[in-house]
Chains A and B, each alone.
Chain A
Amino acid sequence: MNQKEIKNYIGTIAVLAVFIALAVSVVLLIVAGTSVFNRLSYQNENSYDKRTISRFIANKIDSADKIEDIFVQTYGDTSAVGIRQNYSTGEYITIIYCCDGYLRELFLPENAVVELRSGEKIIKCSELNPDMNNGLLTIDVVLSSDEHFRLIYDVSGGNLK
């Protein structure tokens, strides 16, 4: 290999090296961007789900006419928070529960057969485990991302039993 060929060879290698550096940088930038975007979406969705679920349940509880109208009941394997409402046409209940990966709400006459799948979908949610103890309603929620959190509501009406 003569001097000129060696120079050409080194030149080609240098160009290739810079090109590879460029390609690697672009790939790294895209990977970093994707990972950040993925994490942001995950965090934002979790925050949104938490706020929505906690406010939704709080609003429903606040809308109860009497504190005694709020109850926890189990339908099959599913526990639900219920709110009893009295209309001129009779007694109705609104139940809030988790079924098929969704937080659902179902409004029906008190004595009607509860068909959990017919509830209106509110937001994605894996589990909702309510527990009522002497007027303290605690609800353990598992989001679709498997994150757990607990909600506490005072439904004693200021009268501890």
Chain B
Amino acid sequence: MNDRNVLTLIEQTIAVFILALAAAICLKVFAYSSELSNETERISDAYVLASNASESIKYASGDFDRVAQITGWTKKEDSLAFSENGLDVTITKESESEYLGCASVCVLSDNEEIISFDVMYQR
């Protein structure tokens, strides 16, 4: 191997090393932004599902049997549940008075809570 070749080889090895370093940083950023985008999409889906759940509860005045009948969601004792786009939505009856009722809507993704709020409805 002549001196020129050795020099070129060292030069290129350094270039590959710098590129590997840059690639590692880029891939880390790609992975982070991808995760962030998935999270945004999940929140967006969760928002639509939670909104649908709350509107259905208000429509049926807290009658879970009626909501299950209209929407096809699964009723379990004092709660309703359904899954869509990898999100699990649970609606639980919190309290009921003569005129008003309250139910909590919770959206989970991989057992991690994304959105949770209470819905008041007229009885």
**Chain A residues with a Cβ under 8 A of chain B:** 7-8, 10-12, 14-15, 18-19, 21-22, 25-26, 29, 32-33, 36, 39-40, 43-44, 46-47, 50-51, 54, 58, 135-136, 149-154, 156, 158, 160
A-B CB contact pairs (8 Å), 9 listed: A12-B5, A25-B19, A29-B27, A33-B26, A40-B37, A152-B59, A154-B55, A154-B58, A158-B58
Are B48 and A154 in touch, CB under 8 angstroms? Answer: no
Chain B residues near A150 (CB-CB < 8 A) = 52
CB within 8 Å of A: which B34-81 residues? 34, 37-38, 40-41, 43-45, 47-48, 51-52, 55-56, 58-61, 70-71
Contact count A vs B, C-beta below 8 Å? 103
In the complex, the answer to whether A36 meets B34 with C-beta atoms within 8 Å is yes
Distance between B49 CB and nearest chain A CB, rounded to angstroms: 9
Which residues of B sit under 8 angstroms from A136, Cβ to Cβ?
56, 59, 70
* Contact A11:B6 (CB < 8 A) given known A43-B38, A158-B122: yes
| Contact between A156 and B16, CB atoms less than 8 A apart | no
* Contact status B34-A40, CB under 8 Å: yes
A43, B43: Cα distance in complex, Å? 12
B16 touches A160 (CB 8 A): no
Contact residue among B12, B30, B41 (Cβ-Cβ distance under 8 Å from A18): B12
CB contacts (< 8 Å) of B5 on chain A: these are 8, 11-12, 14-15
Q: State the CA gap A50–B33 with chains docked (Å).
A: 20
Are B34 and A152 neighbours in the complex by a CB distance under 8 Å?
no
**Which residues of A are found within 8 Å of B34, using beta-carbon distances?**
36, 39-40
List, in ascending order, chain A residues with CB within 8 A of B71's CB: 152
Give B contacts to A, CB under 8 Å.
1-2, 5-6, 8-9, 12-13, 15-16, 19-20, 22-23, 26-27, 30, 33-34, 37-38, 40-41, 43-45, 47-48, 51-52, 55-56, 58-61, 70-71, 122
Q: Which of A8, A26, A135, A153 contacts B1 (CB 8 A)?
A: A8
| Cβ distance A145 to chain B, nearest Cβ, rounded Å | 12
Q: Are A32 and B30 in contact (CB under 8 A)?
A: yes
B30 near A135: Cβ-Cβ < 8 Å: no
Contact between A44 and B30, CB atoms less than 8 A apart: no
| Cβ–Cβ contact B61 & A22, under 8 A | no
Interfacial chain B residues near A10, Cβ < 8 Å: 1
B9's contact among A15, A25, A51, by CB below 8 Å, is which?
Answer: A15
